[in-house]
Amino acid sequence: MKKIGFIGYGNMGSVIVNGLLFSGALKPAEVIISTRTEYKLSDLKNKYPEIEVVQDNSKTASKSNLLFLFVGTSDVKDVLEEVGEFTSEDTHIVYISAALTMENVERTFKGKITKIIPSITSEVFEGVSLICHNSVVNDDEADYINNLFSSIGNVKIIDEVDFDVGADITSSAPAFMARIFMEFARTASINSGFSREEAEEMVIKTLYGTSKLLYEKNVGFAKLTSMVATKGGITEAGIRVLDAEMPEMFNKLFTVTIEKHDTIKNKLKEQY
């Protein structure tokens, strides 16, 4: 029987593989993995002895109908060319590079392609994975991928044109949010007797509680704001500052990230 292959086992690849195995969405005996840094797989192999670990990508490709590429964006083409003769019309390629268009990938691999932008939050089985399938992927194949990723978080099927901003909202956002609240905690500690560690702990616990209110109680951003910021109160005064300063900051953020997406896309187009 064909297996489900994984080429590469970096930060995001390890999150996805471990999540799929832990959730039971994949059985260890179904999995074959190859990576340039094989020692990284020692813990995974000890935990799931039935996983097949090999030294070359061609063997992973030859034994797999579904092949995940968890390599760097600049390495995708090289890997596709490396395994090309070991793939078939039944091979389904899945990759996770935001700026690499499926049109470019199709120049090297003319078959079933799925593009996924996962989130680091999948490590705790939360967040959103963005998914887009090309026209060659049939409904059953698409459903299988969608269900796999539903086991480690939420799935949103989108048009490829929306990947840039979508990736900012889901994949990049944990870093953006962490940076924003790190600065919030730092400034709070400067203006109080709290240490930075104490301020960060309070912010993290408050952020966790806020997220639960927004998600579990379906409160919504606007309603939650009005629930806390009473008219003429202290919170409302702070909200006015945020209303004045944040739009420009976030407009600049999206301008910069979208420009970066475009720059990388143009460079990748030259490679393909």
Averaged pLDDT, 173-178: 98
Give the model's pLDDT for residue 28.
97
- 206 and 239, same domain (yes or no): yes
* pLDDT, tens only, 20-51: 999 999 999 999 999 887 778 889 999 999 99
- 7 and 136, same domain (yes or no): yes
- 113 and 131, same domain (yes or no): yes
Find the CATH number of the domain harbouring 134: 3.40.50.720
- 131 and 244, same domain (yes or no): no
Averaged pLDDT, 88-106: 95
- 193 and 157, same domain (yes or no): no
Averaged pLDDT of the chain: 96
Tell whether 252 is covered by a domain: yes
**pLDDT of 92 above 90:** yes
How confident is residue 1, by pLDDT bands cut at 50, 70 and 90?
low
Give the model's pLDDT for residue 55.
85
- 203 and 150, same domain (yes or no): no
Give the model's pLDDT for residue 107.
94
- 104 and 138, same domain (yes or no): yes
- 59 and 156, same domain (yes or no): yes
Find the CATH number of the domain harbouring 205: 1.10.3730
* pLDDT, tens only, 216-236: 999 999 999 999 999 999 999
- 148 and 262, same domain (yes or no): no
Give residue 237's domain range. 173-271
Number of domains in the chain: 2
Tell whether 181 is covered by a domain: yes
Tell whether 74 is covered by a domain: yes
- 159 and 177, same domain (yes or no): no
Tell whether 168 is covered by a domain: no
- 211 and 154, same domain (yes or no): no
Give the model's pLDDT for residue 272.
87
What one-character-per-residue DSSP string does the chain give? --EEEEE--SHHHHHHHHHHHHHTSS-GGGEEEE-S-GGGGHHHHHH-TTSEEES-HHHHHHTEEEEEE-S-GGGHHHHHHHHGGG--TT-EEEE--TTS-HHHHHHH--SEEEEEE--GGGGGT-SEEEEEE-TTS-HHHHHHHHHHHHTTSEEEE--GGGHHHHHHHHTSHHHHHHHHHHHHHHHHHHTSS--HHHHHHHHHHHHHHHHHHHHHS---HHHHHHHHS-TTSHHHHHHHHHHHHHHHHHHHHHHHHHHHHHHHHHHHHHH-
Domain final position from 134, 163, 192: 163
Tell whether 124 is covered by a domain: yes
- 249 and 130, same domain (yes or no): no
